């Protein structure tokens, strides 16, 4: 037996055999402490893997040898890994193996008494501190969020109150919160969010109309057109606005060819001017549609503008004078043309009257 003195703590320890450049410490703890102090002196860090110099050297070596920044990115490694896992467990990835899953659960139960790390109180506390130290927040869902958004995520009652009038998508856009974060909050409280049947198109038009008009606005009115819905109705002006998505309002989804035309005629018979706005028009001609709505609402608030009955002949004359071509369509829509030159009024707001010319429907 040989008696040596530990180079780290100074305590004596014994070895049965001496080796050149052999052990100089009495325990693993002293050896780890010595290694860290040596690395700190050489590279300024307590572990070589943290050194930028070592990292760059490793990357350069991998690039020279394999053409990638790390060995596990090579096709050789991926193939060997997949073959080994498939030979051992019969699956392409170890996480899919029931044997591995059971082994992981048993290991967690033996070490911590729980099946999942997130069920372990010490782990949750460590994760909390990591989030605070790195990002200044207590949960990953709060990273990059404003103080207002974080407070909203913490206040579930406020979330429920907002959800009574807004969809989750609308709340996400308003408060800059991810949909997943909101959905998880409702799941945590075993609550199902309210699903509002309002498309993004209708929501955008609602917001724009509300910004222009201070009078009474009704949404989803079914009491006027014999059960048929008017998306946005202004009862004081007798104006209705339909927000139509081409997919859901098309013939492929069961709509009859002249469904929207018949709806406009029914509305007109009840003294309501019904305007049809399609999603492709809102996307491609939004400034024009907004200009039309702005003129309708602001002009009606000041005075009532007459809407003359225009014949197909009048319409052709207008197009000839404006140098435009007639456009054929099978669906009525709201297109805005200003200054109708030789007609009886110089400004017609929202001229979307539809003329039935044989089998075709023409529009301005």
What is residue 215's predicted lDDT score, i.e. its pLDDT?
87
Backbone angles phi, psi at 278, to 5 degrees: -100, 155
The pLDDT value recorded for residue 351 is 36
**Please, which residues bridge with residue 3 across strands?**
14
Token pair, residue 22, equals: 């052999």
**356: helix, strand or coil:** strand
CA atoms within 13 A on the CB side of 52: 1
- Interatomic CA distance for residues 354 and 332, integer angstroms: 6
The pLDDT, as a whole number, for residue 333 is 37
Answer yes or no: pTM beyond 0.85: no
| CATH number corresponding to 200-362 | 3.40.960.10
Unique residue bearing structure tokens 């910004």? 211
How far apart (Å, rounded) are the C-alpha atoms in residues 72 and 81?
A: 9
Spatial CA neighbour of 337 closest among 349, 328, 325: 349
- pLDDT for residue 312: 57
Which segments in the chain show pLDDT lower than 50?
A: 301-308, 318-319, 321-364
Q: For residue 279, give the nearest of 239, 240, 249 by alpha carbon.
A: 249
User: How far, rounded to the nearest angstrom, does the alpha carbon of residue 57 sit from its chain's CA centroid?
Assistant: 41
Structural domain boundaries of the chain?
Answer: 120-188, 200-362
Q: How many C-beta neighbours within 10 Å does residue 260 have?
A: 22
pLDDT of residue 241: 92
């Amino acid at each position: 037996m040989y008696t040596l003195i530990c180079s780290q703590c100074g305590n004596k320890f014994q070895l049965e055999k001496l080796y050149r450049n052999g052990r100089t410490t009495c325990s693993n703890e002293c050896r780890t402490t010595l290694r860290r102090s040596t690395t700190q002196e050489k590279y300024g860090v307590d572990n070589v893997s943290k050194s930028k110099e070592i990292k760059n050297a490793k990357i350069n070596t991998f690039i020279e040898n394999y053409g990638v920044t790390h060995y596990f990115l090579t096709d050789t490694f991926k193939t060997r890994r997949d073959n080994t896992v498939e030979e051992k467990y019969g699956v392409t990835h170890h996480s899919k193996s029931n044997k591995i899953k059971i082994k992981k659960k048993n290991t967690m139960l033996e070490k911590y008494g729980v099946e999942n790390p997130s069920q372990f109180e010490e782990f949750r506390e460590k994760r909390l501190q990591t989030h605070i130290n790195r990002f200044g927040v207590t949960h990953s869902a709060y990273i990059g969020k404003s103080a207002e958004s974080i407070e909203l995520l913490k206040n579930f009652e406020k979330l429920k109150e907002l959800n009574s009038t807004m969809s989750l998508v609308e709340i996400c856009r308003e408060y800059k919160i991810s949909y997943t974060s909101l959905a998880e909050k409702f799941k945590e409280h075993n609550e199902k969010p309210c699903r509002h049947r309002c498309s993004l198109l209708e929501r955008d038009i609602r917001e724009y109309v509300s910004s222009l008009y201070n009078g009474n606005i009704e949404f989803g009115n079914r009491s006027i057109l014999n059960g048929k819905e008017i998306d946005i109705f202004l009862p004081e002006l007798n104006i209705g606005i339909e927000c139509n998505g081409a997919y859901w309002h098309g013939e492929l989804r069961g709509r009859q060819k002249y469904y929207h035309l018949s709806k406009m005629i029914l509305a007109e018979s009840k003294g309501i001017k019904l305007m049809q706005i399609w999603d492709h028009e809102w996307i491609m001609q939004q400034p024009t549609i907004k200009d039309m709505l702005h003129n309708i609402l602001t002009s009606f608030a000041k005075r009532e503008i007459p809407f003359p009955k225009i014949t197909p002949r009048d319409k052709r004359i207008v197009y000839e004078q404006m140098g435009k071509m007639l456009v054929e369509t099978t669906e009525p829509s709201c297109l805005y043309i200003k200054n109708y030159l030789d007609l009886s009024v110089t400004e017609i707001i929202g001229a979307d009257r539809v003329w039935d010319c044989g089998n075709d429907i023409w529009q301005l």
